[in-house]
Structure 1
Amino acid sequence: MGKKKLRGMVIVSALSMIGFTVTACAADEAAPAGSADPAVSGQIVWADYGGPTNEAFQEVFFAPFTEQTGVEVVPTTLAASVQYEMLEGGAGDYDTMMTGMAEVVLYSDNLVTLPAGIPRSDQLSADVAEYTIATPIIGYAQGYLTETFPDGGPQTWADFWDTETFPGKRAVPGEYSDFMFEAALLADGVAPDELYPLDLDRATAKLDELKPDMVFYTEYPQVQQLLSAGGASIAFSPNGQFAALKNAGLDVTVSWDQALVEANPFVVPSSAQNQEATFALAQILADPELQADFSRRTNYGPSSSAAFEHLSDDEIAALPNAPEHTDIIWADADNRAELYDEMNDRYTAWLTS
């Protein structure tokens, strides 16, 4: 059976499932809010950061969904001003948008829970999975061109800070902290099981040590440019940037030792205008076989463990949440939510100091 035909069957089956859920609840006055109508229409405004990840979403999920339903998925570059207005309950154009786990914890009152019948991610805690319709699993790791360290490169965050053994500039985020505080604490000897709650004073002091050897990027694709052009010997980045270099034919090594792992979920804000169609799309986003195709293209992990059944051993090994990666560290969304503003303020001040 061809992949196009298979995807069509998946979509029809998914829409039928949604229709069954709505029909079954029609006489129930307590039917869950946001349950989808099988006769979906209009368009879905999808907000993310663009690039190869968005292209993979379009090719794997959006194109067949639009072909079967007539609903166009319109990608747009995520604007923080619109994102936070909607997270805080205000109006905006997005039907679904990418965000972080801390934001889900902080703003869940203004997010729509998934209707019955839509599979939840089994890679997230149940209370968070209730709000997420697509949850690529991201690894914030260090990576480098293999030829840069032919005798073996850095493995741990202590190695990342060791510019004598592993010389060269370090590419790090120059706008948002991402997980630099965690990396700094691990480099300073904090045990993974004692990482949270974060000691921001200690982390900032450790960041100061490496600052003369850092180069800063403000957009993720700049990671690829810095490594390929020799502007940095090692980069701290979401692992998808390393996958893009591999897809371009470069030999890249990624260290999963103490990599910080988190979902970058897509959520449906309460003010979203086309929730019905968005939840129809959510059924497709949850399909394990399509998730495997997405992971194969991006090296971001699937939100369903069943997707691993459709991937080879080598393909699984490239994913952050591969079962064999026993040394990864799942980020603590609750602690990061508590420190949300302070982390942003601290990192911004540190960058300009």
Structure 2
Amino acid sequence: MQTYRFLSVMAVGAMLVAACGVGGEPAGGESGAKTLTWASTGGQFQEDEKKALQKPFTTATGTAFTNVSPAEQAQVRAMVTSGNTIWDLANMSWIYAGAYCGELFEVLDDPALDRSRFPEGTTGDCFVPTYRYANIFSYNADMFPGEKPTTIRDFFDVERFPGKRVVFDYPKAGLFEAALVADGVPPEQVYPLDLDRAFRKIDTIRGSLVFAPSYGAIQQMMVDKQASMVLTVTARTIVSAQSGANLVPVWDFNTTDIGALVIPKGTPNKALAQQMIAFVTEPEQSVAYAKLTGTAPSRPDVDLETVGYTEEQKQFNAFLPDRGTTIEQDKQWWIDNTDALVERWTSWKVG
């Protein structure tokens, strides 16, 4: 297993937080009161989780929830290392769970988590998808009154379509796959990523790229018209449009990915936490969450027509018909290569 330096930061402060249980009371053991401690992103998306996922589970089982944020990998490591795991579920990148499956995260072994229910390539030993989303290429229509971008190649054409391009400052945000397809690689041949070729293509627009430190920053830049194009996740595209950015998606090529609830190693509530994950992926809950967030249910047997998306949500939903070519980001490739790519990405930006 690789070192994953970007994942393995272990601060003393984080260990103290874990040991002291800051952010909520420790969850009760399965033999006592049924309580699950849920770590997530905070803000509106965690409120959506409470409404669509947690409250129905409380009604069905009597389980209470303690919510904390943010869900950080360093704190998981600190908890597990100190032998005091107080989080039962964490909404964080599946890369962490894949890289440290069985070490920092529990293997999911509940038969209710039948992996054949989920799209091919979206599961691992320590994770299954709880929702799906896409990394979407959109442009600000106010800034292109004439010719409009129509393909992913246009994201890389600053002569015909000038202006800044905003991307999240993290390699797995869809930019590398987009660069390769824009450079002529057939979508079905994108993986394994040819990083040399991808970096050469990205270099052609380097002076027009803006690396946003957060999704909130992306939203603000698009609303303020600080950029003409954006490549970002479904939910943030929707929120940006709702906030006033006149965004139009380009349905040529996009990548899809998953959100996941993972279980930190050593929780005394593993069985109940797995029951919760299975509950989250059932049609009623997954539809309720998709309706609030504009994401897609994790299981393909859930009819998207039953979600009741708003027109704005439909506009940016990559899983509806006639939305061009999409490919699922290769989970094992990213688990194996993220550490090295993050290091190269960081050097490239300052080089």
Normalised to the residue count of structure 1, the TM-score between the two structures is: 0.78
Corresponding position of 1:322 = 320
Corresponding position of 1:346 = 344
> Residue 212 of structure 1: which of 207, 216, 226 is its match?
207
The separation in 2 between residues aligned to 1:118 and 1:199, in whole angstroms, is 34
**For residues 209 and 274 of structure 1, do their structure 2 counterparts lie closer, same or farther at Cα, with a shift above 3 Å needed?**
same
**For residues 293 and 123 of structure 1, do their structure 2 counterparts lie closer, same or farther at Cα, with a shift above 3 Å needed?**
same
Question: Are 2:161 and 1:166 aligned?
Answer: yes
The separation in 2 between residues aligned to 1:86 and 1:319, in whole angstroms, is 37
Corresponding position of 2:306 = 310
Please say if residues 171 and 232 of structure 1, whose CA atoms lie closer than 8 Å, have aligned partners that are also in contact: yes
**Is there any run of 5+ residues in structure 1 with no aligned partner, and where?**
1-35
The separation in 2 between residues aligned to 1:155 and 1:230, in whole angstroms, is 20
Q: Which amino acid aligns with 1:275?
A: K
More helix by share: 1
CA RMSD after TM alignment = 3.0
Q: Which amino acid aligns with 1:184?
A: A
Q: Which amino acid aligns with 1:49?
A: T
**For residues 126 and 225 of structure 1, do their structure 2 counterparts lie closer, same or farther at Cα, with a shift above 3 Å needed?**
closer
Q: Which amino acid aligns with 1:331?
A: Q
> Residue 279 of structure 2: which of 284, 287, 295 is its match?
284
Please say if residues 98 and 126 of structure 2, whose CA atoms lie closer than 8 Å, have aligned partners that are also in contact: no
Q: 3-state SS of the aligned residue for 2:102? A: helix
Deviation, structure 1 residue 250: 4.6
Q: 3-state SS of the aligned residue for 2:302? A: helix
Please say if residues 115 and 123 of structure 2, whose CA atoms lie closer than 8 Å, have aligned partners that are also in contact: no
The separation in 2 between residues aligned to 1:66 and 1:227, in whole angstroms, is 38
Deviation, structure 1 residue 295: 1.3
User: Size of the alignment, in residue pairs?
Assistant: 317
Corresponding position of 1:337 = 335
Corresponding position of 1:4 = none
Deviation, structure 1 residue 324: 4.0
Q: 3-state SS of the aligned residue for 2:341? A: helix
Q: Which amino acid aligns with 1:300?
A: T
1:252-291 mapped onto 2 (5 Å cutoff): 252-291=247-286
1:176-215 mapped onto 2 (5 Å cutoff): 176-215=171-210
The separation in 2 between residues aligned to 1:263 and 1:249, in whole angstroms, is 27
Q: Which amino acid aligns with 2:193?
A: L
> Residue 75 of structure 2: which of 56, 63, 82 is its match?
82
> Residue 43 of structure 2: which of 48, 51, 58 is its match?
51
Q: 3-state SS of the aligned residue for 1:142? A: strand
The separation in 2 between residues aligned to 1:141 and 1:127, in whole angstroms, is 18
1:87-106 mapped onto 2 (5 Å cutoff): 92-106=85-99
**For residues 99 and 89 of structure 1, do their structure 2 counterparts lie closer, same or farther at Cα, with a shift above 3 Å needed?**
farther
Corresponding position of 1:243 = 238
Sequence identity (%) = 24
Please say if residues 217 and 223 of structure 1, whose CA atoms lie closer than 8 Å, have aligned partners that are also in contact: yes
Please say if residues 170 and 232 of structure 1, whose CA atoms lie closer than 8 Å, have aligned partners that are also in contact: yes
Deviation, structure 1 residue 213: 0.7
Please say if residues 132 and 259 of structure 2, whose CA atoms lie closer than 8 Å, have aligned partners that are also in contact: yes
**For residues 135 and 117 of structure 1, do their structure 2 counterparts lie closer, same or farther at Cα, with a shift above 3 Å needed?**
closer
The separation in 2 between residues aligned to 1:126 and 1:330, in whole angstroms, is 7
**Is there any run of 5+ residues in structure 2 with no aligned partner, and where?**
1-28
Q: 3-state SS of the aligned residue for 1:59? A: helix
Corresponding position of 1:7 = none
Please say if residues 87 and 107 of structure 1, whose CA atoms lie closer than 8 Å, have aligned partners that are also in contact: no
Range with greater deviation from structure 2 (64-73 or 48-57): 64-73
Q: Which amino acid aligns with 2:47?
A: E
**For residues 123 and 91 of structure 1, do their structure 2 counterparts lie closer, same or farther at Cα, with a shift above 3 Å needed?**
same
The separation in 2 between residues aligned to 1:264 and 1:280, in whole angstroms, is 17
Please say if residues 71 and 90 of structure 2, whose CA atoms lie closer than 8 Å, have aligned partners that are also in contact: yes
